[in-house]
Amino acid sequence: MKIRLLTLLLFVATTLVAQERLTPELLWGLKRVSAEGMTKDGRCVYFSSKSIDWHTEKSTAHTYKITIESGEKTEWTSESSKTVTQRYEDAWYAVHENIVYKSTDTGATWQEIYTGAQDQENVWVSPNGKYVAFSKNVLVKPMLGTDIYSDLPNTTAHIYTDLNNRHWDTWEDGKFSHIFVATVKDGSVKDIMVDEPFDCPQKPFGGAEDLVWSPDSKGLVYVCKKKFGKEYATSTNTDLYYYDVTSGKTENWTEGMKGYDTEPKFSKDGKKLAWLSMAQDGYEADKNDIIIMDVADKKRKANITAKWDGTVSGYIWSNKEDKIYFNAPFEGTEQLFDVSVPYYKGDEDRNTVNNLTKGKFDITGIVGQSGSEIVVTRTDMNHATELYIVKPKYGDMRALTHENDRAYQNIAMCKTELREIQTVDHATMHAWVIYPPDFDETKKYPTLLYCQGGPQSALSQFYSFRWNFQLMASQGYIVIAPNRRGMPGWGVQWNEEISKDWGGLAMQDYLSAIDNISKEKYVDKSRLGCVGASYGGYSVFMLAGMHNNRFKTFIAHDGFFDLKSFYGTTEEIWFPNWDIGGAWWKEPIPSAYEKFNPSNFVNKWNTPIMIIQGGLDYRVPIEQGLEAFQAARLHNVKSKLLYLPNENHWVTHAQNGIAWQREFFKWLDETLK
């Protein structure tokens, strides 16, 4: 017994000694888990586990089948060239290049069913297997010189006569993603959006979720914003269109609904359709509600989350289809909820929303239902994505996958807590505080104020491979991340208070947060930093002109520096129209251009600042970072520019990511420690 106890103590001691603080290299070595679907009986889940070798920037992915009850995991293998796109009860479908394959033995063998899907990007096979739908780019409006002038094969000219000439990180080339529907039996194929200059899936972020077949295979519903040019750039009005494969006719099922309509999902019998909907055109961060429609009588619609004070992230139908399970931001986290499905009696009071889980974690996605349990993906500030099982009746959870458990045994964890802070207008704001491993309250620590982007994106228990709180804290910093105005999860009103007030109360919220944490004896008030990206980068630029010497250093990534030039160069015009108030030449001129424009306050900059800018970021174009860096240097402010020519609004390349993190912490070492 003594020997066993001694062995155990030695094991524990060795484990504690072996633990390392998280580094960029360790972070990039973690596996990335994503769900691939469930078996029809709900007993097993397919998931992929991807590893990235940052030395070569090559990734390796393995697909596994895991039994929910026992947790037994087996690797699922097929010909490496095939990508499985659908797993129906009686058939699987996969694609490689222009060929669509079918398997009736869970991927052991495959047969060709369609060979005409050249240049496809997404493939959807109808439930009865008779039709194949796929998307591919089609030249509709020539905009490149080589398409307009056949005798000029070497010209690099782009010719535009309207807006949306570039989007996110890509210049418009006149090609649009169209849906094609082919009949498997005879191979005949139709472009269901002939000559329409519109995209499905939606660019840049739409994918397979933008199209769904009806259960009877008679038609499909797809998401599309049927606007072009200036109208496209100033609107968020996507609609759901139904295409009848027999008649070839298309019908708009959400006509008159002005905001985003996305993620359509039929009930199993096809009698109801659910989707996510925003009410207002041009407001990309509007409340996201769940709509249920009677397919036979499309006037019978119900907004089943209308009276709930929150915004939906994603959802699934329950197995019995008497309720919807959804995840949503909630008080600094992302949690699982359910809501009952109506019978269209006009009484929406019966649609009570129930909070099913609580804790310091994020439910980042809902995979499906297994009996009475729900399969979800989950993260927290110390752990990357894994699959979990939820018992919704009690909120209990258990881990299903353990892809990074071995790595975590050697990585020191960071304590996180949600802190209450009183704001200047006497509201209660909550802020996450992340402490270094082995935190000792008798010591003094440099502290970082983290400014979230969006501006209306949730600041929750997310796990990022770049803006990683555990990584920051593991370098010896305390991090405070306030849920300032504009954060979902604290009610719709709190979420909306940021609009047209970018530099107002939200900036005071940031200062309230850093002042509050600075009262703690373990915070070194002489070593405070402020960091953020996108709207967080804007916040850094604003605070640099109004912080009254609180901070010793700043880091801004892809931030808005000058609102006039931003309005003149960004592409999604609906965003500044709503959030800033419109163009700077309007009468009267929106007050944000005077009161909340960081470039107006450069004369007050007196603190070292590092500026990071992606060359392919057309949302917050390169001029913003270059203007800020030039202004800082001409004002003799110690500054550094990190320019990433092949990155957009994010950092997607592994070696760029590690260079980003090394430069990030090098700057803090130079200016804060």
Residues 299-329 pLDDT 10s: 999 999 999 999 999 999 999 999 999 999 9
The pLDDT score that the predictor gives to residue 6 is 43
Other Cβ atoms closer than 10 A to 48: 16
Structure tokens at 344: 């269209």
Q: Please report, as a single letter, which amino acid is at residue 672.
A: L
The pLDDT score that the predictor gives to residue 81 is 78
Structure tokens at 324: 């919807």
Q: Rounded to whole angstroms, how far apart are CA atoms 287 and 303?
A: 12
Long-range CB contacts (< 8 A, 24+ apart) of 234-238?
A: 234/282, 234/573, 234/574, 234/577, 235/281, 235/282, 235/574, 236/260, 236/278, 236/281, 236/282, 236/283, 236/284, 236/574, 237/281, 238/202, 238/262
Matching residue, tokens 């008159």: 256
Structural domain contains residue 161: no
3-state helix, strand, coil split of the chain in percent (to 5) is 20, 35, 45
* Residue 177 CA, distance from chain mean position: 22
Structural domain contains residue 13: no
The pLDDT score that the predictor gives to residue 625 is 98
**Total number of domains constituting the chain:** 1
The pLDDT score that the predictor gives to residue 18 is 60
The DSSP element (H or E) to which 563 belongs, if any, is helix 563-569
Q: What is the separation, in whole angstroms, between the first and last Cα of the chain?
A: 49
383 is catalytic: no
pLDDT 10s digits, 244-289: 999 999 999 999 999 999 999 999 999 999 999 999 999 999 999 9
Q: Rounded to whole angstroms, how far apart are CA atoms 379 and 391?
A: 17
Which of the residues in the chain have pLDDT under 50? 1-16
Of 474, 534, 539, 639, which is the active-site residue?
534
649 is catalytic: yes
Structure tokens at 158: 């782009």
Q: Rounded to whole angstroms, how far apart are CA atoms 253 and 251?
A: 6
Structure tokens at 433: 């505080």
User: For residues 621 and 569, is the Cβ–Cβ distance under 8 A?
Assistant: yes
* Residue 147 CA, distance from chain mean position: 35
The pLDDT score that the predictor gives to residue 343 is 67
Q: Please report, as a single letter, which amino acid is at residue 45.
A: V
Q: Give burial (CB, 10 Å; 0-12/13-18/19+) of 624.
A: buried
With vertex at residue 573, the alpha carbon angle to CA 641 and CA 570, rounded to the nearest 5 degrees, is 20
Using the 8-state DSSP alphabet, how is residue 310 labeled? S
Using the 8-state DSSP alphabet, how is residue 601 labeled? G
Among residues 423, 405, 404, 590, the alpha carbon closest in space to that of 510 is found at: 423
Which sign, positive or negative, has the C-alpha torsion 617, 619, 623, 626? negative
Structural domain contains residue 280: no
- Stated length of the chain: 673
User: For residues 43 and 370, is the Cβ–Cβ distance under 8 A?
Assistant: yes
126 is catalytic: no
Residues 6+ apart with CB under 8 A from 105: none
Q: Which stretches of 171-291 are DSSP H helices?
A: 230-233
User: For residues 214 and 266, is the Cβ–Cβ distance under 8 A?
Assistant: yes
Structural domain contains residue 353: no
Structural domain contains residue 556: yes
Its domain, for residue 565, covers 413-671
The pLDDT score that the predictor gives to residue 345 is 55
* Residue 107 CA, distance from chain mean position: 31
Matching residue, tokens 């929106």: 590
Structural domain contains residue 108: no
Q: What is the CATH number of the domain that holds 547?
A: 3.40.50.1820
Structural domain contains residue 12: no
Structural domain contains residue 181: no
Residues 6+ apart with CB under 8 A from 255: 239
Q: Rounded to whole angstroms, how far apart are CA atoms 86 and 93?
A: 5
User: For residues 617 and 586, is the Cβ–Cβ distance under 8 A?
Assistant: no
Other Cβ atoms closer than 10 A to 116: 15
The pLDDT score that the predictor gives to residue 77 is 75
| Cis ω before 127 (30° cut-off from 0) | no
Q: Rounded to whole angstroms, how far apart are CA atoms 361 and 460?
A: 8
The pLDDT score that the predictor gives to residue 1 is 43
